Amino acid sequence: MLTPHFSLDELIVTDTGLDNTPSANEEARLRTLAAFLEKVRVILGNNPITIDSAFRSEAVNAAVGGVPDSAHRLAYAADIVCPGFGTPWEVANALSQAQTEGKLDFDQIIYEQTWTHISRDPQLREQRLTHVPADGSYLDGLVGP
């Protein structure tokens, strides 16, 4: 376990069949990501969070079509769901509100329809985006269903 609620295994899981073993530096960033996710969990009422995707090795990132400088590639991001709290839309809004209230620093939240992407990249751009599945584009801001 990296933290009380997040294991290394769940942060590196992939269904690509490719090796997704992090380097020592990437594992250190995953520890930081896990600590960040503990804060996210508290904001979400201490409900369990399921990680859909977090760290991606170079090979895994390429296989899933990720950009080379993806926050996932750098061990800064996780795609999450938290059914005990609510829908991905509700999760994205709660995390956005927590940032506005000074309770959470993040680089990026993306409402992805079926999950919420959250990044703790050191840039801390406080970026909020909505993914448009029909054409793969992104809208500025959180745009609801």
CB count in 10 Å sphere of residue 75: 26
Would you write out the chain's pLDDT as a tens digit for each of its 145 residues? 999 999 999 999 999 999 999 999 999 999 999 999 999 999 999 999 999 999 999 999 999 988 888 999 999 999 999 999 999 999 999 999 999 999 999 999 999 999 999 999 888 999 999 999 999 999 999 998 8
- Report H helices in the chain: 8-12, 24-43, 58-63, 88-100
Domain ranges for the chain, please list them: 8-140
CATH architecture of 8-140: 2-Layer Sandwich (3.30)
Q: What global pTM score does this model have?
A: 0.94
